[in-house]
Amino acid sequence: MLLIHCPYCDETLPEAEFTYAGEAHVIRPPDPSALSDDDWQGFLFIRSNTRGPHYERWRHFHGCGRFFNAVRDTVSDRFLTTYPAGQPRPALETLTAASEDRK
């Protein structure tokens, strides 16, 4: 079972308390009716499907109930970091450097 750090509870907790909520930092266009069908389809359905570090949303469903963002390596399942929703995405270089240090 994965252990996930909830940035609101400030505890590292079992995966069973959390739910996955898709890719993070997908921003809804402010005026959808101005978009072409292709652009709107891109916003709705097209995701990056990254191999490696992936910015994604999780929700601490059986806990504080909050959505937050995480960077998870989709190959190793290692969580590089978690941070509250609304914060800018952390630069990947800083995260991989920090995770190399731990090895």
Partner 1 sequence: MSMEISSLTPGVLVDTPAARVAVQPAAGRLSLRARKAALPALGAALGVSLPTRIGQRAAGGGIEAICLGPDEWTILTPADAVAGLLAAGAGVDHPHSLVDISARELTLRIQGPRAADLLTLACPRDIDTIPVGEGRRTVFDGATVVLWRDGENSFRMDIWNSFAPHLARLMGIGARELAAEPA
Residues in contact with partner 1 by the rule CB under 8 A: 1, 8-11, 13-17, 61-66
Residues 6+ apart with CB under 8 A from 39: 29
State the CB neighbour count (10 A cutoff) for residue 25. Answer: 12
Judged by CB, which is closer to partner 1: 1, or 91? 1
**Shortest Å, Cβ 58 to partner 1:** 15
Q: How far is the CB of 64 from partner 1 (least distance, A)?
A: 4
What are the E-state strand segments in 1-103?
A: 3-6, 11-14, 19-23, 53-59, 67-73, 79-84
Q: Which is nearer to partner 1, 9 or 21 (CB)?
A: 9
d(CA 27, CA 25) in angstroms, rounded, equals 6
Nearest approach in angstroms of CB 83 to partner 1 is 14
Residue number with CB closer to partner 1 (2 or 46): 2
